[in-house]
Every structure is written in structure tokens, then in C-alpha cells.
Amino acid sequence: MSVIAEFTADGDDFVVGRALAVSHGSTVDLECIVPIDDGLFPYCRVRGEADPAVFAETLAANPAVDAVVLVPDEDDGDLYRVTWSENAVDDLLELLIEHEGQVLAASARDGRWRFRLRFPSTGLLADFQRTTTDAGIPLEVGRVYTAAESTDPDFGLTTAQVDALVTAVETGYFRVPRGISTADLGALLGISDQAVSERIRRGVETLARNALNVPDGQRDGSR
């Protein structure tokens, strides 16, 4: 039976993490479920960078990257299509490929990455942990559970959405009357009040859909 493990790592400890270094307070999410042996994370979403074009230029200049395209997108943050070079495949990714690991989710904030990885068996996971330790790759292991026991602790929320919702709750944004304005909440998060409103709205919708098992798509408003 397949097994899922959660790991954390510093971005400085692997090539892709160093390439996707962002400003303090910004976040990165690798988009979609990507089997490593089918190609490296082709899309990433970055939130909080002041100038998306400058970020794209800086990323494209990294030797681990062959090309970067800023993709027009209406969702929160900036979406990039990244073509990684062979230099992006370091010891960590080679060991992940060798042990048939699959990246289910990967996100970062302030240089700290969180991964959710799936392995075909507990034996392959154990071998992956042993070989990364032997190679001097510092990964911190979190939860380990079978696919049958799998539940998404963040209900499908992005790192930025979790941060916005937690901050909103802690500062009384959802209270009546509100404990903080949208503008002041945005200032705390380092984004505009419009961006805060959109991020919270999308986050609440995602949270409700996944927590209540509501399918995507329009619902019949007659009920």
C-alpha cells in the first residue's frame, strides 16, 4: 500500500529551493501533482513579489533554469511556467526519482519548504529517508500515513491562503463588529486590501468545498 510522508527543508539545501528564493513574506506553491520522472514542476505560483517581471528575469538567469514564462492568470498571485535544466536535478531529486517518490504538494514561505510526498511502499520511504540522511540532506520528517488514511490538513488551501485566514481569525477580521479593517489586514500581510479580499474569498470557498465535500461547478440555486 502506498504511503504519504510530510517533510520540511530549508530552501538553501536543494537546487530548486535556491532558484525559487523569494522576498521575506512572499510564498511559493508548486502547482499540480507532478510525478518527478515525468518532468520537474512545470508551474509555480508566487505571491508577494513586488515585480513579477523582475522575479522572472532573476529566475531565468539561474543555471538550473532554461526558460521562464509569466503566464496570464486570474487567480491570486503570479503563475510562472518554468523549464528546468539538467542542473536542477540534485542529490535530493535523484533520490526521490530512485525511490519512486511523487510530489503531491510543495510550498514555501521565508525560505522554509514543506513537502507532501507519496511512495509506493513503506520500504521505499524508509530507504529514501536512510539514503538522504547518508547523503547529508537535512530533511525533517513530519506525519507519515497510508493513502487510505490520507486527509489534507490544510483542506486544499495554498500557503498564502492559510496565512491570510489564520491572520484574519487571530486579528478578529471575522468578528462582528470586525476587529481589523481589510486595509490593515493587507498591511499585516504585505499585500493590498483588494488582494486580501480576493485571497480570503478564494480561501473560504476552497475550505468550504473540501471540508463539506461540495463538488466544483455551479449549484442549482433553486434549493
Q: What pLDDT is recorded for position 206? A: 84
12-27 per-position pLDDT tens digit: 999 999 999 988 878 8
Pick from 13, 8, 20, 19: which is nearest to 78 by CA? 20
Q: Divide the 223 residues of the chain into consecutive groups of 10 and give the mean pLDDT of each group.
A: 90 95 87 54 88 94 95 84 92 94 87 91 95 94 76 71 87 92 87 89 85 58 41
Same-domain status, 68 and 176 = no
Q: Is residue 220 part of a domain?
A: no
Phi, psi of 70 (to 5 degrees): -80, 115
Same-domain status, 43 and 97 = yes
> Any bridge partners for residue 8, and if so which?
114, 140
Going from the C-alpha of 113 to that of each of 11, 108, 180, 185, 203, the distances in angstroms are: 6, 4, 30, 24, 20
Same-domain status, 19 and 66 = yes
Q: Report the domain count for the chain.
A: 2
Same-domain status, 119 and 202 = no
Q: What pLDDT is recorded for position 151? A: 55
Q: What pLDDT is recorded for position 218? A: 46
Q: What pLDDT is recorded for position 189? A: 84
Q: What pLDDT is recorded for position 149? A: 61
Same-domain status, 105 and 174 = no
Among 108, 123, 148, the domain-final residue is 148
pTM for the full model?
0.68
Same-domain status, 28 and 110 = yes
Q: Is residue 222 part of a domain?
A: no
Cα 8 from Cα 92, distance rounded (Å)? 13
Same-domain status, 169 and 124 = no
24-46 per-position pLDDT tens digit: 878 898 875 444 544 578 889 99
Q: What pLDDT is recorded for position 219? A: 46
Same-domain status, 177 and 143 = no
Same-domain status, 163 and 205 = yes
Same-domain status, 130 and 164 = no
What region, left, alpha or beta, does residue 217 occupy, with left being phi > 0 and alpha being psi -120 to 50 degrees?
left
Q: Which domain holds residue 59?
A: 3-148
Q: What pLDDT is recorded for position 15? A: 95
Going from the C-alpha of 120 to that of each of 51, 80, 96, 165, 197, the distances in angstroms are: 41, 30, 12, 34, 40
Q: Is residue 198 part of a domain?
A: yes
What is the CA angle 61-62-67, rounded to 5?
65
